Each structure stands twice: as C-alpha cells, then as structure tokens.
A and B are shown apart, each in its own frame.
Chain A
Amino acid sequence: MEKEKNKTASWLKGHVYDVAAYAGLVITIILFLIFSGDKLMYNATTVLQTVAPYAIISLGAVFVYSMGFMDVSVGQQVGVYAILYILISNKMGGTTAGVAVAFIVVLAIALACGAFNGAVAVWLGLPSIVTSLFLMFFFTGAQLLLMEGTGNTSISIQAKIKPMDRNQYTLMLIIAIAVVAVLVTYFFKYTKFGKYTKAIGANEIAAEQSGVNTTKWKVFAYMAFGVTVAIGAFIMLTRTGSAGKGTGTGFAMDVMICLILGGMPLSGGMKSKVSSALVGTFTYVLLSNDLTTMGVDLNMINFLKAVIFIIIVMITCRKRDGVLPR
C-alpha cells in the first residue's frame, strides 16, 4: 500500500507539468461546453479556425524550443508571407497556379530564413534570439515596404483559397493540423532529428562530445520551423483572405505562450513534447473564447490571461540559471 502511494507520488512529481497542462485544457473545454450553449457547433468551428495557424506554427516551433532556443521573427514572417501569397497570386491573375507558385516562393524564403537563423547563430557564436531579432527587423521593414507599394493598409487575395462550405473548410483545417502533427511527431519522436534537438536542449556540450553535429541539426530545426511558418501563414490567409501592415503582429509571443501553456519547458531538453503545441494552442484559444462567452469584462480578460500565464511559467520553468530561452 505504502509502496503504491510512493509510486503515485513519484509519478505525479515527474509529471506535474503535464498534469497542469492537461488540467488547464480540460477546464477550458468544460467551460467551453457550458458557455457555448446553443452555439456549440458554431463556436467549435470558430475555435478550430483560430487554432489552426497557431497549432501548425507551434508544432514546427517544437523543434526550436526543444533546443532551448526561440524565434522572435515569426510574426513578421507570417505577415510578409501572407502579403507575398496575395501579391504573387494576384499578379498571376488570381489563379490556382498563381497560388501554387506563391507557395513555392514563400516556402523557399522560409527555408532560407530558417537556415540563416540556425547557421549564422552558430558561426558567429550568437544566441539564436539575436539572429531572429535581426530577421524580425528585416521582415518588419519588408512588410512595410511591400504594403507601401500597394498604397493600401490591407490587400485581399483574388484567388479562391477556401471552400465556401463551412463544414468543408473545417475538414480542411482538421486535415492540415493532423498532417503536420503526424509529420512532426514522426520526426520528433522516431528519428535522429528529434532526439538530437532534445539532446542539444538538455546539454549541448554533451551532445557535441557524443558526436552530434549540432550546427547541422540546429539549421534543420529552424528550417523545419520555417516550413510550418509558411504553411501557417497560408492557413491564416484562408481565414481572412487579406493581409496588411500589421498582419502577424504578436504571433511570436502567442506561439511562445501556447507552447508554455502546453507544458513545453522553456529550457528545452528531453521533456520537450509535440503534444505541448496542441494542448497549449487549444488551451490558449479556448481560454480567450471562454472568457468572452462568459461575458467577463474586457479589462479583466487581459488581467486573467496575464495571471494564468505567469502561474504556468512559474510552474513549468525548470531552468536553474534563468527563465528565458537561449
């Protein structure tokens, strides 16, 4: 009996972060079911629409965060990619071929930026956050310049990139999330890629001395992240059909919050999990949705979000020498 108790206590101690993350998700789902009332189905589809781009980008971010790194340029990249999708496809007459060309161009840029982010940080011996800061400023300028060229604050895509039927669109989003989740899970859990990124997060020097080419895997991690940013930007564009000077603002912070809410340790390492991206994203979006449907005062919503965030950070941060990623 005593042994059983100790076993449970020991399991709980080892999984306190997971329990906290899943408990958060369960609570937000219960509130969602209660307060959605007769709009449950509608609300479920809207939650899924909001979740989709965050989930896809957060899934890619798992590779970067598992190394204990982060990328603050995500928001600006999303903005520029969304604008490029529109400009290129509109230039090609709003055709499906135009959208395909735009996607290839954006994907190439995203891969190049990922490679830059990973490689330059290693070669110059800089914390990766510094190179992502550079990219953030670069993309901020690019976003403004691209929009200045259009003479508008916001532009719309001419091509049809979203099914007219709401159910079909919902299915499309579910498939997109599922495909990315399966691929990321496979690479993160069952290949060297995931093992090495986690090893870098746990102890980079030890990983290096074990023969892991840390530079190569860092670059790959950022490139994988870039791919999901390109896909996420496209999924976001299917929702709104438009983009502008401020599209993507705050995305980097949102992705970080999603991962932390999902139990991703800021310091990365062996306890990093793909599920953090999905659990955290759903919790984050449902939390905002619940507070609105519950009729919580506007100012209170921001306050509550801040309180919940800081509590989760304090619970999940296990890094001895600080709280921020490298």
Chain B
Amino acid sequence: MKTSKKIMALALTGALAASSVSVVSVSAEPKKATIGVCFYQDTGKAPNATKAFLESLADTLNVEFKYGTFTQTDEAANLTKVQELIASGVDGIIGTMDLGTQSILSECEAAGIYYAGYLCDFDTSYTTAYDDVFGNSNFLGTVVDGHAPDDVNIGDQFFDSLIEYNERNADAPLTHVSMAVFPVWAFPAQTTAAEQFVADVEEYNKTAETPITVDPLDEEVDVLNFAPLDSTYFSKHPDTQAIMSFAAGTSFVYPTMVSAGVDSDIKLFTTGADGGEETNFGSAGTQTYQQIAFTGAESIVYPLVLMLNKINDTEFADMPEKAERISTELYIVNSDEDMELYVNSLYNTADAANAAYTPEDVLNMTAFGNPDATYAGLVEAVQTLTY
C-alpha cells in the first residue's frame, strides 16, 4: 500500500507541476539548441522512454536531439562518438557512461560545449578525479539511476517490499531469502544495498515472531559478472524462498529460474524492468516477480535544464559552484495496484503522454523560461518523482 502511494505520486507530481505553469509567464523564447544524448545501449525500456520524453519537449524548448550509444568498455570509442557529435554541431552532450570522462571533457572544453550525466553515478570520476570532472566548468553534473553510492537506500526498500509481501501473505511468509549483486567494482551501491538489507533484517529479527534468514553473499554464485545467474545458485541456496536481486534480475536471474524450473517456487524481488514482467507478477501467472524497480525517464530534466540554461546564457540564482550528482528515488512496484500503474507509465509505454512532466512544466523549470525557477526546485522535481 505504501509503495502504491509512491508510484501514484508520480501522477500527482506532474499534475502539481502543471498547475504551477499557469501562474508563471515564460520570460524569453529559448535559443535554438542541439543536444546529443548517448545511451548505454541502442534500445530498451529506458532509452526508448527517454527518447519519447525528449522528443515531446523538442518544440517547446526549441531543441533538436541527436542520439548515440556509448560503449560500456571502450574509452576511445566513447571519445570518438563525442567528437562525431561535436562535428555534427551539438551544443551539449548528455552521457550515460563514466568512461574516459576526462578526455571527453577536454574535448568538450576545446569545442566550447557542455557535458552532463544521466542514469550514471560517475563514481570513478567522483572518487578518483573529482576536481578534474566535477570541478570542470563544462561539466554540469549528473543524475543517478537510483541512489549514489554514498547515499544508498535501496536495501531499505527491498526490506520494505519483503515485509509488505509477508504482511499480505501472513499464512505463508517468506522466511529464508538469498541475494544477487553485480560486482562491487562496477556497482558499489549494490553491495552496500545488500549489506543494508541484511542489517534491516537483523534488526527486524530482534522482535519478530517469524524471523527471516538471509544467506550471506557467496562470491562464487551470488556475484554476477554480467552473465546470467549460474544454475548452481539453487544448490548453494537450497532453502531460499526468494531472491533479492540488486542486480538486474529480469535479464540475469529470471531466465535461470525458468530453465531450472523453480520460477513457481521461488519469488524474485529485483531492480530493473525489461517489459513482460506483469504476466508473472504479484498474484498473476507463476507469481514469480514480487518487486521490480525502475528510474523515471523524466529525471533527464536535471542535466537537460542545466544545459539549456547554459546555452541560453542564464543561470539559477542558487546554482552550486561545483557540479553535483543527484540521487533519484526508484519507482518501486511491489503490488498488483502498482503494476497497473506501471503498465501505463512512460517507462513501460514510451508514450510521452504518460510522462510526469509536460513540455511546459520543463520550460518552467528553466531559468530562461521562468525567472523564479531555482536549482533547488529542479532537484526537488527530480527527487519527488516517486515521493
């Protein structure tokens, strides 16, 4: 029930933002701008929804978007893609990968264009080259898909989902669970989240009538090196009733559960959503999925608005001196009611009519579109997408 409120707030936020548009007049016609957007993969739920959302903003914000793909492995290939976009005349680039960022920023600096992040914590740059990247005036900041590594709460959210499930199924609660994560070098926040989840369960067990057992992380099978879950997972965790997959479970865990024939017996709580989960979600089908989570594509307004402000030679009065990384709340879908809302969401349908923000809302967030707009307001708009 609690999470239903969370996801319904998405619609409310949009409505509230829209209502505020009517009282604020647009101060200036935006300059024509071209912005390159490089995703981490060509297609998929997040890129498709983001593209649809951005295209819906194009006319109102007077922006043309050009799309590209970054590799997850090759610095030189990403730099080449940035150079090609610069050559095609972009005024700024929004990227989803922290790889070769320093050389990319040098290139942006030389070309006099801006660079910002989306769905990426830029943790390597944050921890090893903070001044060079976050102190660079051409870098405008990033919005993380979920919480930044030093600001994690997804472990708490998994715990909440588990407890909510047990409350709904008091006659057959889940009392033994295991976990799955991506390697710590790639996604440090996931290991932190797993530790947070274990701590929450331990705290809960102190007073619980039916305590929950969590299998500790097994380096051999629980850490997924970007390969599907190994079938030996189930022999290593013979008593597990649910898998808490902080890694993308739809792609990496669920297929192995199906091939091992355990999808009817073991529940899956996961981050990520690739589409089609609704068939076996909650009380439907095999009831395997009990939680999915995703980041709102609307969060791209953070780098977009900051970039458009720069291009339009305007600035928020409360703009921080150095670029920041902003956490977002994940949409948690953990009940049949949530799933109904998810099915019709921008993320699932790639239909901008379902977006939380209209083009006018976004224009209203900019300094050139609304003289009263603030940086704090922009951050709030991103962080209140679910709450």
Contact = CB atoms under 8 A, between A and B. Distances in A.
Interface of A: 35-37, 39, 42-43, 46, 49-50, 53, 147-148, 151-154, 156, 166, 236, 239-250, 288-289, 292-293, 295, 297-299, 302
Nearest to B110: A166
B66 A42 contact: no
Contacts of A292: 66, 68, 81, 84-85, 87-88
Given A42-B87, A156-B102, A246 B76 contact: no
Contact of A46 (B74, B87, B102): B87
Contacts of B68: 292, 298
A209 to B, nearest CB: 45
29 contacts: A35-B88, A39-B87, A43-B87, A46-B84, A46-B87, A49-B83, A50-B80, A147-B185, A151-B185, A153-B99, A153-B124, A153-B185, A154-B98, A156-B102, A239-B79, A241-B102, A241-B103, A242-B100, A242-B103, A243-B75, A245-B73, A246-B74, A249-B74, A250-B74, A292-B68, A293-B88, A298-B67, A298-B69, A299-B43
B69 to A, nearest CB: 6
Contacts of B210: none
Interface residues of B, number: 35
Nearest to B72: A246
Contacts of A46: 80, 83-84, 86-87
A87 to B, nearest CB: 15
Contacts of A53: 76
A298 B81 CA distance: 12
Contacts of A50: 76, 80, 83
Given A39-B89, A240-B103, A247-B75, A152 B185 contact: yes
A37 B90 CA distance: 13
B76 A236 contact: yes
Nearest to A156: B102
Nearest to B80: A50
Nearest to A293: B88
B9 interface: no
A35 B100 CA distance: 27
Contact of B79 (A35, A43, A240, A249): A240
In the A-B complex, the 7 residue pairs with the smallest Cβ-Cβ separation, listed nearest first, are A246-B73, A46-B83, A43-B87, A292-B84, A240-B75, A293-B88, A240-B103
B71 interface: yes
A297 B87 CA distance: 16
B71 A246 contact: yes
Nearest to B36: A292
Given A49-B83, A153-B185, A156-B102, A42 B73 contact: no
Given A295-B88, A298-B42, A299-B43, A248 B74 contact: yes
B99 A244 contact: yes
B76 to A, nearest CB: 5
A84 to B, nearest CB: 16
A295 B84 contact: no
A35 to B, nearest CB: 8
Nearest to B88: A293
Contacts of B98: 154
A99 B325 CA distance: 34
Contacts of A148: 185
B260 interface: no
A289 B124 contact: no
Nearest to B66: A295
B186 interface: yes
B87 A247 contact: no
B99 to A, nearest CB: 6
A42 B84 CA distance: 10
